[in-house]
Structure 1
Amino acid sequence: MPFDLGATVRLTADCLDPGGTPTTAATAVVTVTLPDGTTATPAVTETSTTGRYQADHITTLAGRHTVRWVWTSPAHAYTDAFDVREAAPPAIISLADGRRHLKKTDTADDDEIRVWIEATTRAVEQFVGPVVVRTVTETVRFTSARAVALTLTPALSLEGVTSRRPGGPAYRVEDLKLDPATGLVETADGGVLYGPLDVTYRVGRTVVGANILAASRIILQHLWRTQQGPGRPQRGVDDYDVSEPLPGLGFAIPNRAVQLLDPDSLGPEVG
């Protein structure tokens, strides 16, 4: 499961001799390679279990981390990986809401539920566009135009526009107009924009429709059911049927959720 940014990851690994028996080594080093290519070498200690070593790494960057253990006498090595969430990963429903919908009365499955909520959010937003309000930066590549279209809509507001050309023109947000529904950006005086530009803007919905929230709960339930394996029959199974895969989404969205999301759908080009 992904770790939260700023959390401590306890790394563990076993040193094995050539015959596969856990053994105390003369030296043990673990190297963590961060997403930006830098490395960290946290202190390593052997646990009370012979041959089992551990180290604690405090996370400072979001993304995929690789872990490399190396021992000497005996010579042994082991490679692993872990993921770190961004500081505020988009979540279309809360953990409490997800737990309640899955009829979980304790916190034992919280980490797994959070992963599936994040997956649900990605699926819903691919279908209807951004729902969770957040700030994004997009590079818009063009030479000159009266208006440029941002990729993500609804676009709530412009936060900054910067030219990527050395000595390129500067644009003040106050001098630009944004159409939230289409993502079109143009100058207030009707002038020409010169690119390419880095555009920072806020996306999402300040009010999330009940249909989107209901569809999100159905998708969460669907994803949870598929990874839990076969079990006792459940009422309402038809709500989780999938007639055909959606472009770019496969079987992630069942029929009932598609129907609920349809009023806000991006259309046949979804994915």
Structure 2
Amino acid sequence: MPYDLGATARLTAECRDPGGTLTTAGSASVTVTLPDGTTTTPVANESGTGRYVVDYATAQAGRHVIRWVFIDPADAHTDSFDVREAAPPGILSLADAKRYLRLTDAAEDDELRTWIESITAGIEGMCGPVIIRTVTHRIDLRRAASITLRDTPVVELLALEPLHTGGTSYAPADLDVDPDTGIVRRLDGGTFVGSLISTTRVGRLIVPAALTAAARIILRHLWQTRQGPQRPTMGTPDFDVNEPTPSFGYAIPNRALQLMEPYRLPPGVG
């Protein structure tokens, strides 16, 4: 399961001789390659014969690669772990998810949080950003009367600046932005020129109840199917899954799709 940014990841490895017996190594080293490509070499400690541990305080979000190297006997292991971003988008809170599934302890919290992130990504893939975030995109054009931002709905266009030095920047106060379509026009009727970088706040200030309800239904469906090949006994075919969806395959029950329908992106968008 991913670690939260700033949490301590406990990294473990075993040193075995060619016969497979746990053995204390003459030396043990561990290298952690961070998401930005830099490396760090924390000190490995032996917790038992041939068993080594490092407590590593995470400082970057993303995939980390771990390389263990033992000498005398020669042995090596490569592994990896993930670190969540500081504020991962989640359409449901952990407390909401646990309450809906009637879970009372923390034993499965990490798995639940992973499901919540996955469900959020799937719903946003079909309905556009739901959770408020700031995104940056490159827009390439020669000259145009309007530009279309990639993600909608748009909460606020924060900046529209040139990609290259000497290009033209456009003040957000001088622009009209359609929050639903992402179309941006100049208030003076002029055109946009050159390659631009847009910085935009996107998402929904208030998450529609229908999307929250859809997320709960998807969560229950995935949670039940995770526990075995059983079919939910909801008493209606609305909870069946009849056809695949682009973002989720066969993971979305019909009733969730019905709740999401008013917010679905047009074909070819997103």
Q: Give the equivalent residue in structure 2 for 1:38.
A: 38
Q: Give the equivalent residue in structure 2 for 1:51.
A: 50
- With over 3 angstroms needed to count, the CA separation of the structure-2 counterparts of 1:236 and 1:87, relative to structure 1, is farther
AA aligned opposite 2:184: V
The more displaced of 233-242 and 98-107 is 233-242
- With over 3 angstroms needed to count, the CA separation of the structure-2 counterparts of 1:107 and 1:270, relative to structure 1, is farther
Q: Give the equivalent residue in structure 1 for 2:178.
A: 179
Q: Give the equivalent residue in structure 2 for 1:25.
A: 25
Deviations 1:118-137 (A, max 9, x none): 00101111111111111111
Does residue 96 in structure 1 map to residue 95 in structure 2? yes
Conservation of the 8 A alpha-carbon contact between 1:239 and 1:256: yes
Conservation of the 8 A alpha-carbon contact between 1:123 and 1:252: no
Conservation of the 8 A alpha-carbon contact between 1:211 and 1:260: yes
- With over 3 angstroms needed to count, the CA separation of the structure-2 counterparts of 1:62 and 1:54, relative to structure 1, is same
Residue 43 of structure 1 and its aligned partner are, at CA, apart by 1.1
Q: Give the equivalent residue in structure 1 for 2:2.
A: 2
1:195 and 1:121 map into 2 onto residues whose CA distance is 35
Deviations 1:103-123 (A, max 9, x none): 101111110000000001011
* TM-score when normalising by structure 2: 0.95
The more displaced of 230-239 and 192-201 is 230-239
1:270 and 1:222 map into 2 onto residues whose CA distance is 27
What SS is found at the alignment partner of 2:117?
Answer: helix
Residue 270 of structure 1 and its aligned partner are, at CA, apart by 6.6
Conservation of the 8 A alpha-carbon contact between 2:232 and 2:239: no
What SS is found at the alignment partner of 2:245?
Answer: coil
AA aligned opposite 1:36: D
Q: Give the equivalent residue in structure 1 for 2:159.
A: 160
* TM-score when normalising by structure 1: 0.95
Conservation of the 8 A alpha-carbon contact between 1:123 and 1:253: no
2:27 and 2:159 map into 1 onto residues whose CA distance is 51
- With over 3 angstroms needed to count, the CA separation of the structure-2 counterparts of 1:53 and 1:164, relative to structure 1, is same
Does residue 250 in structure 1 map to residue 262 in structure 2? no
AA aligned opposite 1:126: G
Conservation of the 8 A alpha-carbon contact between 2:224 and 2:232: no
Q: What is the CA RMSD across the aligned residues, in angstroms?
A: 1.6
Conservation of the 8 A alpha-carbon contact between 1:25 and 1:72: yes
Residue 238 of structure 1 and its aligned partner are, at CA, apart by 3.8
Aligned residue pairs, count: 270
- With over 3 angstroms needed to count, the CA separation of the structure-2 counterparts of 1:124 and 1:36, relative to structure 1, is same
- With over 3 angstroms needed to count, the CA separation of the structure-2 counterparts of 1:270 and 1:152, relative to structure 1, is closer
- With over 3 angstroms needed to count, the CA separation of the structure-2 counterparts of 1:236 and 1:35, relative to structure 1, is farther
Residue 239 of structure 1 and its aligned partner are, at CA, apart by 4.3
5+ residue gaps, structure 2, are none
Q: Give the equivalent residue in structure 1 for 2:224.
A: 225
2:33 and 2:239 map into 1 onto residues whose CA distance is 41
1:63 and 1:248 map into 2 onto residues whose CA distance is 22
